[in-house]
Amino acid sequence: MKKQNRVRAVDFARGFSVLMMIPVHVLMLFATMDTWENSITGNFVQLLERGSPIFLIVMGISFAFSRNANKNGILKKALLIIGLGYVLNFLRFIVPLLLFGGFPEAFVQASELSINNPARMLNYFLKGDMFQLVGISLFIIGLAFKFLIKNKHITLVATLVIMWLSKVVSGFQLGIPGVDYVLNLLWGNNFDVYFPLFPWLSFILIGLYLGLNYLENQDNPEKSLFRPMLILGIVFLISGKLLCDYDYQYHFGDYYHLGPGGTMRLMGILLVFFWVYYHIERLLPKDNYISKLFFYCSKNVTPFYLIQWVLIYWTLAFTNFSAYNEITVLIIILGINVGTFTVLHFVNKMLASRKNRELKTVQPGI
């Protein structure tokens, strides 16, 4: 398998996970409990929800391919992504309060988020979500990157340590404002942070380990990347299942704040599915429309994630919370998809136009 196909397989998996974000997020906010639990769409989306973190593994793999990256560049990118997290929180939580008259009453009752509650507005602005996880993870890995790429097995050990410490440190704080906020981003056990570093950083690290393993034998990715991926996936899946059966409350807890067993089980599932994605992509024609769509989503993962969340919450401001049946939810999913791809198209077009103007300014003779 050529290098191009290796990149295709990785981007194929990431693009699929990115595209599945919209159905998951729409059902979380718009579907009735009956739609979520008893409809075909609801049951399917519950499966998709478990698979969305696969792009964290892809992030780790891609990071290995950037082994010659400049440390300062990595750290600057990490800070930019962290900053984007708070820009996103402002756009999706605060702007509807300031410009659209707030959210529907059902959502206000569930979240207490309203213009009359400044403390809650600040709380939502500071929410820890995917951008914070990715940015802080990138910053930490960037600090130790040169060491990690020379000691790939340390990366695997770090993956296991973070898994096993996830419940040990979960919720630990010092009672110091500001410091406790940072600690909450690291290992919080409440919904002020949806993706704490413990255990979610382990998904990025296992990807980094696999990516480094691949770089040792780039001529045979089946042997160096995807076979180890399948073996680790099966081991983690079985081990995690046994641990969750032994003590579900400790080892699983809840999806966003997993214990070691739950982390292992989910990681095992994702690695096995990643291996399946690899074989599916190999069977597809080279220029098929499905792959092109996934690659486009993969290439635009950051703006796609930001735009879809903003459109979803801005739509919520003019509709209702947890109130719609399966057909209506499917219509909302379609609308958010159309809106996201439309906005993304114009954003990319605008950025390309600006880049061309800058090139003409630098090289006026062209």
Q: Which two tokens stand for residue 83?
A: 């900053």
Q: Is the dihedral of CA 360, 362, 365, 366 positive or negative?
A: negative
The enclosing H or E element of 13 equals: helix 3-19
Contact call for residues 262 and 240 (beta carbons, < 8 A): yes
What pLDDT is recorded for position 1?
41
And the tokens for 323? 């109130």
pLDDT, residue 363, reads 56
- Give CA–CA dist 365/360, Å, rounded: 8
Evaluate the CA torsion angle 38, 41, 47, 52 in order and state its sign: negative
The pTM assigned to this predicted structure is: 0.92
pLDDT of 64 reads 85
Weakly modelled stretches of the chain, pLDDT under 50: 1-6, 365-366
DSSP alpha helix (H) spans, 144-196:
145-150, 152-165, 179-187
- pLDDT for res 356: 78
Can you read off the two tokens belonging to residue 53? Answer: 């973190």
pLDDT at residue 63, as a whole number: 86
**According to the model, what pLDDT value does residue 364 have?**
52
Look at residues 341, 330, 331 and name the one whose alpha carbon lies nearest to residue 308. Answer: 341
Per-residue model confidence (pLDDT) at position 270: 94
